[in-house]
Amino acid sequence: MERLVKKKESTVNVDYEMTSPRFSVQNIDELQQGIDHLNERGYAVFSEILTNDEISNSIDLLWKHLEKLPPYCIRRNDPETWKECWPGLSDIGLLNDYGIGQSEFMWYIRGKPYVKKVFSHIWNSNELFTSFDGAGCFRDWHLNEEWKTRSGWYHCDQ
C-alpha cells in the first residue's frame, strides 16, 4: 500500500498516514529499539512513562498552576476563560513564563523514575541535568479555530 506524503511549505516531507511506533520504557528491548529509532529517524515516542493516576495528577497540577496566574481569570472547566489571559506563546503551544519551569507541575514530572530512565538511556549516563524553562500546552482548537497551533514550528531539543 502506497503511503500518502504531503509536502509542507518548508519542503519537509510529512507522512500523514504513518502511525508512530511506541516503545515501552518498562521493557529493556523496546527501550533500546526506541533509542535506535531516535538515532535513525530523529524522534521516538516512549510509552508507559506515567501511570494513569500520575497523568491525572500532572494535568491537575498544570491546571492549578494556570489558575493561579495573574489576573486570575483562567478556569479549567470554562474554555471562555482561556482566551485573553492564556500565558506564553499560544500560537506554538509554549508556556515559557510565570515560573512554569519551577512549578510543582514541572518538578513532579522531573521526579518520575521512567522520565529519568529514558534520558539516561538516550545519553548513556545517570548523571543528568534537567532544564525545564518551558512546557508544551495546547488548547483544544476544536473549541476555537484561533487556537490552532501555527505550522512549521518544530521543537527538536526536548
Q: Where are the domains of the chain?
A: 1-48
pLDDT tens digits for range 68-104: 999 889 999 999 999 888 998 888 888 889 989 899 9
Answer for the pair 97, 88: CB distance below 8 angstroms, yes or no.
yes
For the chain, the average pLDDT equals: 86
Q: How confident is the model at residue 94, as a pLDDT?
A: 86
Answer for the pair 117, 25: CB distance below 8 angstroms, yes or no.
yes
116: three-class secondary structure by DSSP: helix
Question: Distance from first CA to last CA of the chain, Å, rounded?
Answer: 33
Instruction: Output the CA–CA distances (angstroms, integers) from residue 8 to 90, 112, 131, 152, 154, in the order listed.
Output: 21, 36, 31, 8, 13
Q: How confident is the model at residue 6, as a pLDDT?
A: 46
Q: How confident is the model at residue 89, as a pLDDT?
A: 86
Instruction: Output the CA–CA distances (angstroms, integers) from residue 45 to 8, 29, 71, 116, 139, in the order listed.
Output: 22, 15, 36, 15, 21
53: three-class secondary structure by DSSP: helix
Instruction: Tell me how far apart the 2 most distant CA atoms of the chain are, in Å.
Output: 53
Tell me the average pLDDT across 147-155.
71
Provide the pLDDT confidence category of residue 7 given band limits of 50, 70 and 90: very low
Instruction: Name which of 79-83, 91-95, 106-110, 125-129 the model is least confident about.
Output: 91-95
Query: pTM (2 decimals)?
Result: 0.80
Q: What percent of the chain has pLDDT over 70?
A: 86
For residue 117, pLDDT beyond 60: yes
Provide the pLDDT confidence category of residue 152 given band limits of 50, 70 and 90: low
Q: How confident is the model at residue 153, as a pLDDT?
A: 61
pLDDT tens digits for range 22-49: 999 999 999 999 999 999 988 899 999 9
For residue 10, pLDDT beyond 70: no
